[in-house]
């Protein structure tokens, strides 16, 4: 907890001074060439950030899709979010589902609410995944803009296991994919067919971003999701679908619209990859699933 002292009627927060000549992390990249921070444990002080965002009265929307059998993930997702996601801030959970009756009743902390959004499902799991862009886009201008300041858009087959707070917030942010943080460009699984709107040439690309965790202000998320949805629709007209679906279009977007912040692998980890030395916290981890059984 932050250390406060009252001095002559003024509340002051005391914390160690940043050390210009002693950077907290030297084992990982902490800033991009376009000066966007990459968020790693040790690089920030939550007390300073929380005080700043509480003063602004920030409201955060967390969107998640639970279509068909994926409703089984909702309980753990929300329960662990109550423990670790933006604790102390105002949070709206937006759960898009075709099975509203399967969404459990969960008691939430003060200042937090769950909004169930009844939507149609699609037959193919790829289409379910991709259509998230359209559904987030549509509600951004119809609803989210009136209710929250930032949107955080994530996969539902996940659980929080450590703090995810306001350090992630920025105009538009993406997350390093846990499978490719050490890879070179050529190994990124970008869409490589020039016919696709998601095409990225072999000699371009900064990072391989994960489809399962992005966000930003409502306006920036609107622009991102609108771009991705339109690119998908253009490809659909030409009977082509990008190799990794929404993730491929997201990577295309971030190449030419640079994110203003990037979340490290702490924010999207899969324990089947083990625990590398540089990974000090595992904040949001995949829940193991049987792909065949859950998608069909």
Binding window for ligand UDP (CB under 6 A); candidates: 13-21, 87-95, 123-131, 183-191: 123-131
The DSSP code sequence of 53-118 is HHHTT-EEEEEEEE-GGGGGGHHHHHHHHHHHBSTTSEEEEEEEES-GGGSPP----TTEEEEEEE
The 193-212 site mask, x for binding ligand UDP (CB under 6 A), equals -------------------x
| Residue from 167, 191, 241, 247 carrying the catalytic annotation | 247
Q: Choose from ligand UDP, Mn ion, none: what does 196 bind? Cβ within 5-8 Å by kind.
A: none
261, 170 contact by CB (below 8 A): yes
Question: Applying CB under 5 A, which of residues 40, 152, 157, 209 lies at the interface with Mn ion?
Answer: 157
Question: Applying CB under 6 A, which of residues 39, 50, 61, 65 lies at the interface with ligand UDP?
Answer: 65
Query: In whole angstroms, what is the distance from residue 240 CA to residue 242 CA?
Result: 7
Phi, psi values for residue 136, rounded to 5° = -70, -45
125 binds ligand UDP (CB under 6 A): yes
235 binds ligand UDP (CB under 6 A): no
196, 159 contact by CB (below 8 A): no
Q: Choose from Mn ion, ligand UDP, none: what does 295 bind? Cβ within 5-8 Å by kind.
A: ligand UDP
- Number of other residues whose CB lies within 10 A of the CB of residue 230: 15
Is 247 an active-site residue?
A: yes
From the CB of 247, what's the least distance to Mn ion, in Å?
10
Radius of gyration of the chain (CA): 19
Binding window for ligand UDP (CB under 6 A); candidates: 61-69, 85-93, 162-170, 224-232: 61-69
CA nearest neighbour of 219 among 150, 166, 135: 150
Residues recognised as catalytic: 247
Residues that bind ligand UDP in the complex, under the rule CB under 6 A: 65-68, 70, 125, 128-129, 155-157, 212, 295
């Amino acid at each position: 907890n932050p250390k406060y002292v009252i001095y002559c009627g003024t509340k002051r927060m005391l914390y160690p001074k940043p050390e210009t000549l002693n950077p907290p992390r030297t084992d990982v990249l902490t800033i991009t060439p376009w000066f966007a921070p990459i968020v790693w444990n040790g690089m920030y002080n939550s007390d300073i950030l929380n005080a700043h965002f509480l003063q602004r009265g920030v409201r955060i929307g967390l969107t998640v899709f639970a279509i068909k059998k994926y409703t089984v993930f909702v309980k753990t997702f929300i329960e662990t979010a109550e423990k670790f996601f933006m604790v102390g801030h105002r949070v709206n959970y937006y759960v898009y589902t075709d099975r509203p009756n399967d969404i459990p009743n969960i008691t939430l902390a003060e200042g937090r609410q769950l909004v169930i959004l009844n939507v149609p499902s699609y037959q193919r799991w790829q289409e379910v995944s991709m259509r998230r862009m359209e559904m987030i886009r549509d509600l951004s201008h119809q609803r989210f803009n009136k209710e929250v300041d930032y949107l955080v858009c994530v996969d539902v087959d996940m659980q929080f296991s450590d703090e995810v707070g306001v350090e992630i917030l920025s105009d538009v942010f993406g997350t390093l994919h846990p499978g490719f943080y050490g890879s070179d460009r050529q190994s990124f699984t970008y869409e490589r067919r020039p016919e696709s709107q998601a095409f990225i040439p072999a000699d371009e690309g900064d990072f391989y971003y994960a489809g399962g965790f992005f966000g930003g202000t409502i306006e920036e998320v609107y622009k991102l999701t609108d771009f991705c949805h339109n690119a998908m629709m253009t490809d659909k007209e030409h009977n082509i679908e990008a190799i990794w679906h929404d993730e491929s279009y997201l990577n295309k977007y971030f190449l030419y619209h640079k994110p203003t912040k990037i979340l490290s692998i702490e924010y999207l980890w899969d324990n089947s990859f083990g625990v590398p030395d540089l990974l000090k916290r595992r904040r949001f981890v995949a829940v193991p699933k049987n792909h065949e059984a859950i998608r069909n």
